[in-house]
Amino acid sequence: MLEMTREEFEELVAEALDRVPPELMRLMDNVAVFVEDEPDPAAAKESGEEFDPDLLGLYEGTPLTDRGEWYAGVLPDRITIYRGPTLRMCETREEVVAETEITVVHEIAHHFGIDDERLHELGYG
């Protein structure tokens, strides 16, 4: 497995966020981005999802396309990028950089209401 500190990985996630077009970032509403070492089996169970130890990222919240008049005073949506699975699947730092960028864009797309099927069609699967 490729070695990279949590701080180094967090910096890659920050750099990937910096590369998202500013006009898109301005449209993001009530969302926070986190880095965790590994996916949480308890969170998967809580959300009714099957646990995937190789999960690279996760979007939790209400996509912008599903928000209505009722959407006020809620906790921020959460995007989590997982360090461990990313490092296990990549062999070089360059691969980690590329995969982190793809994962960040993938999870941001969920915030905008784009589903996995469409993301796969666009090459962000």
pLDDT of residue 46: 73
Q: pLDDT tens-digit profile of 70-119?
A: 888 888 999 999 999 999 999 999 999 999 999 999 999 999 999 888 88
Task: List b or e across 44-70, with b for residues whose CB sees 16 or more CB atoms inside 10 angstroms.
Answer: beeeeeeeeeebbbbbbbeebeebeee
User: What ranges do the domains of the chain cover?
Assistant: 6-62+74-122
Provide the 3-class DSSP secondary structure of residue 64: helix
pLDDT of residue 125: 67
Is the Cβ–Cβ distance between 84 and 9 less than 8 Å?
no
pLDDT of residue 85: 98
CA distance 96 to 94: 5
In this structure, what token pair is assigned to residue 104? Answer: 């960040």
Q: pLDDT tens-digit profile of 18-36?
A: 999 898 898 888 899 999 9
pLDDT of residue 94: 97
* The amino acid at 120: H
Q: Above 80 in pLDDT, residue 123? A: no
Residues sharing a CB contact under 8 Å with residue 50, sequence separation 6 or more, in sequence order: 44
Provide the 3-class DSSP secondary structure of residue 41: helix
CA distance 119 to 80: 17
CATH T-level fold of 6-62+74-122 = Zincin-like (3.30.2010)
